[in-house]
Amino acid sequence: MKDVKILSYKAEKFSKSDIRMAVIYHLLFAALGFTVCKAAFFEKYMPLGVSFLAGCSPAYLPSAAVGVFIGYFIPGISVSGFRYIAASLAVIAVRFIISFSKKLNTSPLFAALTSSVSVAVTSAVAFSGTSADVIHITLEVLLVAAAAIVISRTFSFLPHLYRGLSNEELGCFLIVISMVTVSLYRVALFGVSISGILTAALILTCAKYGGMQASTACSVSSALLLYFSGRPAQICLIFTAAALISGLVTSLGKYIQICSLFTCVTVSVLLLPANAQTAAFVTEVLIGCIIFALIPKSTGINLGRVFTCFPEISVNNDLNRAVTIRLSEAAASIKDVKTTVDEVASRLDGINTPGFSGMLAQIKDSACIGCKMHTRCWQANKSETLGAIFEMINKIKSTGHLSSDNMPGDFKSICLRPERFCGSLSTNYLSYAAITETNGRIQQIRQAIGDQFEGIAIMLAEMSQNFSKDIRFDNAAAVTAVCALKNLGIIAEECSAPVDKYGRMKIIIKLKKPNDAVLNKRDIMRALSLSCERNFAPPVIKKASGETFINISERAKFKMDIGISQKSARPGDMCGDAYSYFSDGTGRFIIILSDGMGTGSRAAVDSAMASGLISRLIKSGFGFDCALKILNSSMLFKSADESLATLDIACFDMFNGELNLYKAGAAPTVVRRSGRSGKAVSTSMPIGILPDVAFDKAYIKLSSKDILVMVSDGVTATGTDWIRDELEHAVDCTAQSLSDRLCQMAANRRTDSHTDDITVITAIIN
């Protein structure tokens, strides 16, 4: 039996702002329909209104139809607009009939077909049978079809206009804008046309914020439509040439661009016969230049997002895949090196290393061959002989030498060659002990080197994974950023916008003319934040080898107030604890605390090496586990003496508030979250003791006003309950003041004679 689904139909609720925006959009498209249908070509054709209805989005078709009908009822030229009303009704009827098919209703080719057929059928009213009419009607049909295709394509990407346009989309969009401006050709004051003013301002805007491509598309389409509208051919050609020159000098600045356009137009007009049209043309260009000069920078940034054509490029997937494969191959090869070395070493150890039984055979051969007691000592009383040998070996270990006086009494009474036996035992055992110690040391070194090889293999594998999965490049955002900087007078030569696996963007820009650019960090941050619709932090500006780079990353949701307080075990001694903290560039804030064995300078060296080396490894891209393996192998053989240190790491994601704790023999970490405190403890060993070491790990989600406290062993001698009480009652304090108070309280709470270094690191989330 099929499940029965009960559907509840509820009236969808719209906010006042939604309703207000919907009304504004419908009024806008009605106004566009009214304006577009006013474009008259060759003084007798007005087909663009039909094209507008054929290509318009179905959502705005009713309002566009109202505007078009009103416009055709008041045509503004001698030719009646009623045949275009009939063509418009035919287009609307066809679109209503095929409303069930979204694909047909939004198809550019179908829009061209319906509009051209409608205009061709209704043109029979004006057909007189002459060859000129045939040519004109054919041109009109072709024009209405082309306009319908362009308008339909524009409506298809109009909702995503600010995302960036391809070459084709940008051309369609600019042609539609040119249609609107040309439609205002007959709106004039003292002979100065609104159309000419808007066209001049539009061309300059396209050149400034869209580059040469946008300038060329806009100037050519505007000049052609102006010519069809009745503008003299010479003026249209001057407009096109001046726009191209303006596009060539756009990188020199806004005012140079204005001067070049106006100068080119003025000089060209002087070569033409002086009349009212040329004077009006110069006036139109001048007013258009003034309007363009008054466009504010913030508006220019938004215009740059519209008029900029993003390049059709992408990250080379083949290269990316090749790098990924090579890194994976290198990781596997390095891992195989460790395995092969271990296998060969184990075989050589069995061949070259003499065992304890071999040492006894050498003693028997060198000291007892030919002795009458040989059989009795090594066969009948072998256990007593071995017991005596072990007793003499202990004497060698304690004094470093052996004589016949050190032989056990029972064994000495039956041995016929005491001095010779003691000499052979001493020589062979010392040789055996030296070889055994050397082989053990070699084994440890081999283990350390193997761990480092394995760590490098893990790092390469992680890099391979990052290349294949974690990083992508947002080319549209990169182009948008370049356009935004252009408004500030900053010309970029190269730009990339990598986005990590968490969706966080970083923009890296190499400047083309660093010496000529004024780099205001606040302006750069605001411009890129507005244009890319992301909240960026202040940029980092670097100069190297005569080149300037701008690096800007997204602003994190959280930030950390850090406070650190330390006390040495004895006044005047170095503190045996070391720490470091930094941001890794991907939105993670990392705090590292290490406590060296003991106190004083020796402990300070161990802890400084541990915290410093692991900081470098993490900054270089090593993972925490990989970095620990390399650090541990380095600590094992830093010197002949025992060297160890604890390691305590806190990794806080400043975008989502996730805190990861990594501990190797470290003291408990206390965390206050939502007013209540808890602790994370470690059961793992410190680094530098055993070849195999691993982190104890913990995870917690933090938010604003939560507190993290990391301490060394000197703080927790009397437990951590008092720290938790202090955190739960801490109100309106800074991280530094809280660290100072906890450090002093830890020193005061020591009741035993043992002293230890004290370090308190407090981080308050804001």
DSSP 444-465: HHHHHHHHHHHHHHHHHHHHHH
Of 488, 513, 416, 532, the closest CA to residue 208 belongs to: 488
Q: Are 125 and 83 in contact (CB under 8 A)?
A: yes
Q: Are 692 and 674 in contact (CB under 8 A)?
A: no
Distance CA 138, CA 145 (A): 11
H helix runs in 400-474, sequence order: 409-414, 418-465
546 and 672 assigned to the same domain:
no
The answer to whether residue 134 sits within a structural domain is yes
Distance CA 751, CA 745 (A): 12
Of 183, 92, 199, 84, the closest CA to residue 140 belongs to: 84
Pick the most confident of 198-202, 337-341, 344-348. Answer: 198-202
The answer to whether residue 312 sits within a structural domain is no
The confidence score (pLDDT) of residue 637 equals: 61
pLDDT in tens, 681-695: 878 888 777 767 788
Last residue of a domain, one of 553, 573, 608: 553
The confidence score (pLDDT) of residue 321 equals: 56
The residue assigned the tokens 């040519």 is 135
Q: List the Cα angle 89/90/93 in 5-degree steps.
A: 85
Distance CA 553, CA 555 (A): 6
In this structure, how many other beta carbons lie within 10 angstroms of the beta carbon of residue 649?
26
pLDDT higher than threshold 70 for residue 343: no
The answer to whether residue 22 sits within a structural domain is yes
92 and 200 assigned to the same domain:
no
pLDDT higher than threshold 70 for residue 460: no
Distance CA 499, CA 503 (A): 6
Indicate the range of 44-48, 433-437, 506-510, 597-601 predicted with least confidence: 597-601
Structurally, the chain folds into a number of domains equal to: 5
Stretch 148-167: mean pLDDT:
73
Q: Are 236 and 227 in contact (CB under 8 A)?
A: yes
The answer to whether residue 301 sits within a structural domain is no
Distance CA 375, CA 385 (A): 11
541 and 581 assigned to the same domain:
no
What are the two backbone dihedrals, phi and then psi, of residue 380, each rounded to the nearest 5 degrees? Answer: -65, -45
Tokens (6 digits) for 146: 């082309």
Stretch 437-448: mean pLDDT:
64
Q: Which residue has the higher pLDDT, 466 or 534?
A: 534
109 and 179 assigned to the same domain:
no
225 and 347 assigned to the same domain:
no
Sign for the CA dihedral angle at 102, 103, 107, 112 comes to negative
Last residue of a domain, one of 442, 469, 496: 469
Tokens (6 digits) for 665: 């023999």
The residue assigned the tokens 């092969």 is 340
Helix axes 521-532, 475-486, angle to 10 degrees: 140
pLDDT band of 762, cuts 50, 70, 90: very high
Q: What percent of the chain has pLDDT over 90?
A: 3
* Residue 99: domain span: 13-163
In this structure, how many other beta carbons lie within 10 angstroms of the beta carbon of residue 531?
23
Last residue of a domain, one of 451, 469, 487: 469
The answer to whether residue 533 sits within a structural domain is yes
Distance CA 385, CA 383 (A): 5
58 and 199 assigned to the same domain:
no
The answer to whether residue 747 sits within a structural domain is yes
The confidence score (pLDDT) of residue 13 equals: 57
39 and 18 assigned to the same domain:
yes
Q: Are 561 and 731 in contact (CB under 8 A)?
A: no
The residue assigned the tokens 């975008």 is 655
Q: Are 730 and 542 in contact (CB under 8 A)?
A: no
What are the two backbone dihedrals, phi and then psi, of residue 596, each rounded to the nearest 5 degrees? Answer: -75, 160
The residue assigned the tokens 């071999």 is 358
Sign for the CA dihedral angle at 178, 179, 181, 187 comes to positive
| DSSP summary character for residue 245 | H
Distance CA 559, CA 527 (A): 23
Q: Are 54 and 112 in contact (CB under 8 A)?
A: yes
pLDDT higher than threshold 80 for residue 588: yes
The pTM for the full model equals 0.49
CATH code, 609 = 3.60.40.10
The confidence score (pLDDT) of residue 324 equals: 62
170 and 28 assigned to the same domain:
no
pLDDT higher than threshold 80 for residue 737: yes
Q: What percent of the chain has pLDDT over 70?
A: 78
Pairing of strands 540-544, 647-653: unpaired
Ramachandran assignment for 88, one of left (phi > 0), alpha (psi -120 to 50 degrees), beta (any other) = alpha
The confidence score (pLDDT) of residue 744 equals: 87
Report CA Rg, the chain.
42
The confidence score (pLDDT) of residue 651 equals: 92
DSSP 644-695: -B-EEEEEEETTT-EEEEEEESPPPEEEEETTEEEEE---SPPBTSSS----
The confidence score (pLDDT) of residue 650 equals: 92
Beta bridge partners of 590: 582, 651
Distance CA 495, CA 34 (A): 43
| DSSP summary character for residue 6 | P
pLDDT in tens, 66-114: 888 887 777 555 455 677 888 888 888 888 888 777 777 778 888 888 8
The answer to whether residue 142 sits within a structural domain is yes
pLDDT band of 9, cuts 50, 70, 90: very low
The answer to whether residue 326 sits within a structural domain is yes
pLDDT higher than threshold 70 for residue 619: yes
Q: Which residue has the higher pLDDT, 51 or 572?
A: 51
Q: Are 687 and 648 in contact (CB under 8 A)?
A: no
Angstrom distances, CA of residue 534 to CA of 161, 478, 530, 552, 732: 17, 13, 7, 11, 32
pLDDT higher than threshold 50 for residue 5: no
491 and 455 assigned to the same domain:
no
pLDDT in tens, 549-572: 888 888 888 888 899 988 887 776
Q: What is the mean pLDDT of the chain?
A: 76
Q: Are 206 and 249 in contact (CB under 8 A)?
A: no
Distance CA 225, CA 247 (A): 20
- In the chain the first and final C-alpha atoms are separated, in Å, by 57
DSSP 55-76: HS-GGGHHHHHHHHHHHHHS-S
Sign for the CA dihedral angle at 503, 504, 505, 508 comes to negative
45 and 171 assigned to the same domain:
no
pLDDT in tens, 277-316: 778 778 888 888 888 888 887 777 667 666 665 543 334 4
737 and 620 assigned to the same domain:
yes
252 and 286 assigned to the same domain:
yes
Tokens (6 digits) for 265: 């137009």
Beta bridge partners of 596: 645
pLDDT higher than threshold 60 for residue 320: no
Tokens (6 digits) for 573: 């001694």
